[in-house]
Amino acid sequence: MAARVLIVDDAVFMRNTLKEIFTAQGFEIGGEAANGVEAVEKYRELKPEITTMDIVMPFKNGIEATREILKEDPNATIVICSALGQESLVMEAIEAGATDFIVKPFKAENVTQVVKKAMAARR
């Protein structure tokens, strides 16, 4: 069964980019969330194998959402999506328990490599 991905990003554009990458690699898009609050709700509902998490989002940022998701499900595999120049935020997310991170702009091969390894790490 294909692994299901929950894509969290406030930009539709980014979500679509990731969707295309994941779909091409045979992942199943389990759902999408546009902010941290939605992310926590969708995670609870879907229990996806993998979650990609943007950091800077309205209502609740990706770091807080990561923290909350992991509190409920310590096995959650969360990959942070960051931009160059966000090193300190990414490290904050890693401390919160994120499994790995990818840096925008995304390259399909990098994304899938990180995601597959992150899943292996949490197995």
Partner 1 sequence: MDMSKYKSLFMSDTTEHLDALEADLVQIERDPADKSRINEVFRHMHSIKGMAGSMGYDEMARLAHRLEDMMIPHRQHEKPLSGDEIDLLLRGLDEFRNQLDQVRDGKVPRPAHEDLLVAADKILRGAQLQAPPAGEPPGEPEGECRAVDGTMPVFKIELVISAQSGTPAVRAFLAYRRLSETGKVIEVVPGLAQLRSGHLEGRLVRFRLATDRGLAEIKRVFNTLVEVERFVVEPEDAPADREQTLFEKARSPLKTGRQKSDTVRVQTELLDFFVDSIGELITLRSHFEQLAERIEAPTLREGVRRLGKVVRRLHDRVMEIRMVPISLLTQRLPRVCRDIARSRGKQVQFEVEGENAELDRALVEALDTPILHLLRNAVDHGIETPDQRRRGGKSPLGKIKLAVKRSAERFEIVLSDDGGGIDAGLVLSRAAEMNIPMSENPSPSEALAMIFRPGFSTRTGATEISGRGVGLDAVKMEVERMGGRVSVRSEPGLGTSFVLDLPLTLAILQVLLVESGGVLLALPASRVLKVTAIDEGRKIASHGSDGSTIDPLIDLAELLGGVPAGQRQSEGEEALSESVVIEQDGQAALALAVQHVAGHVEVVLKGVGSLLARLGPFNGTTVLGDGRPVLLLDVDAVITRAHSAMREKPNGS
Q: Which residues bind partner 1 (CB under 8 A)?
A: 1, 4, 10-14, 16-17, 20-21, 28, 30-32, 42, 45-47, 49, 56-58, 73, 75, 83-88, 90-91, 94-95, 100-101, 103-106, 108, 110, 113-114, 117-118, 120-123
- According to DSSP, residue 37 is labeled H
Whose Cβ is closer to partner 1: residue 37's or residue 103's? 103
Closest separation between CB of residue 6 and partner 1, Å? 9
68 Cβ partners below 8 Å, 6+ apart? Answer: 36, 40
- Note whether 54 and 14 are within 8 A (CB): yes
Count of beta carbons in the 10 Å neighbourhood of residue 71: 12
Whose Cβ is closer to partner 1: residue 67's or residue 101's? 101
Helix (H) or strand (E) holding 24: helix 12-24
Closest separation between CB of residue 107 and partner 1, Å? 8
Helix (H) or strand (E) holding 88: helix 87-96
3-state secondary structure of 68: helix
Closest separation between CB of residue 53 and partner 1, Å? 13
Whose Cβ is closer to partner 1: residue 37's or residue 91's? 91
Closest separation between CB of residue 118 and partner 1, Å? 7
